[in-house]
Amino acid sequence: MTYIKISQIQFEGKSTPYENAEILENYFKKTLIFKPDLITTPECSNIITASNIHLIKHSNYQSDCPVLKMAKSFAKLNQVNINIGSLLLKQKNKKKLINRSFLINKAGSIKKYSCSQPRVGYTLETFLSKNLQTEVAALSKDAIDLSNGVL
């Protein structure tokens, strides 16, 4: 039987991606004593706020998201796979944000990602509840892929 060590990060998200990147990196470092094969994060890992105006103003594109950049660098430096829970990201030439989760391999490369479109008018509780189901399914799939050597 193959065993996979998974470290699940839980943290209180802040209102900017830069703050959350710093917080997550500190938590990622703490998981290393457990020698995980996979580190996972919860939904809304880059930004959380009740204000749509703040969300639009402080969200990033995938190419400049500090949480994603930090996770890729950390994965490569520490030879660990990382599943980043949804990141709310801007899209080129679109007003709506996209909700994207990433699986990053030990080389720091994005192996897979999944997308969903957040709906305007969702309460935070509804958004988190619906996306928790997606995250659990993605984590299960990631664990299977990891045990099958896909990463």
Tens digit of pLDDT for each residue in 59-83? 889 999 999 999 999 999 999 999 9
- Give the per-residue pLDDT at 149: 64
Q: Spell out the alpha helix ranges (H) of 6-123.
A: 17-31, 52-58, 66-78
pTM of the model: 0.75
Average pLDDT, the chain: 80
Selected residue with higher pLDDT from 43 and 18: 18
pLDDT band at 114 (very low <50, low <70, confident <90, very high): confident
Considering the chain, what percentage of its residues have pLDDT values greater than 90? 39
41, with CB counted inside 10 A (0-12, 13-18, 19+), is: buried
